[in-house]
Amino acid sequence: MANLGFIDRALASFDQCPWSTFAGTSGHYASFPATTPAATPISSNVRPPIYSSEERRRRDASPWTLVQGVLAPFQFLVFAVSLWLIVWYLATGEGAELATASIIAKTLVLYTIMITGSIWEREVFGKYLFAPAFFWEDVVSMLVIGLHTAYLYAVVTSALGIREQMLLALLAYASYVVNAGQFLVKLRSARREAERMTSLPRRPQGRAT
């Protein structure tokens, strides 16, 4: 994966997704212990690591990690353009068709990233959705998908007027921003977690007695 370092640095600059090629790492990281020694007391307010050592290995080996790292900033770019077009329409009454097309494009990108993200989650955590490490992010993601799908339904059936459709799209976009913020916080936590593990002194490899 070292040959992807440049791509990862570029993707990390967006800092919008927990699935960049080395999400939550900084260079070479120390492995998390697979088990905690029984003699070591664990405080109830100490959070478990986001990734176990094996989950980190699977994450870095999965091709879907890079797919997610590319799709996340791309979705944000589509979102930003679409948001501008929606605001332009609401302010001027012009460009309804272009704004509608941009929202549909944003929704299709969302569907793509949710499907590939579920595959990624299955490969890394063994569950397509609601893995403990990303449970609440997935919960809000369901709301995001629901609102975007409701928009498509409103467009296809003309259940809402064009202005109401745009307002529904803004509501869907607001939920997307909240969800992106969740993932940003999780990414920062994962990176700090990796930095702490990297700073831990390595155990000396002494001979068995």
Lowest mean pLDDT among 25-29, 185-189, 199-203: 25-29
In the chain, domain spans: 51-199
What pLDDT does residue 183 have?
A: 87
Average pLDDT over residues 39-46: 51
What pLDDT does residue 25 have?
A: 39
Using one digit for the tens of pLDDT, what is the confidence trace for 50-108? 888 888 899 989 999 999 999 999 999 999 999 999 999 999 999 999 999 999 999 99
Using one digit for the tens of pLDDT, what is the confidence trace for 117-137? 999 999 999 999 999 989 999
**How much is the pTM?**
0.72
Place of tokens 């890394």: 124
Q: Can you say whether residue 40 is alpha, beta or left, with left for phi > 0 and alpha for psi between -120 and 50 degrees?
A: beta
Lowest mean pLDDT among 63-67, 171-175, 177-181, 203-207: 203-207
- Please give the C-alpha separations between residue 114 and each of 124, 147, 175, in angstroms, as whole numbers: 15, 14, 15
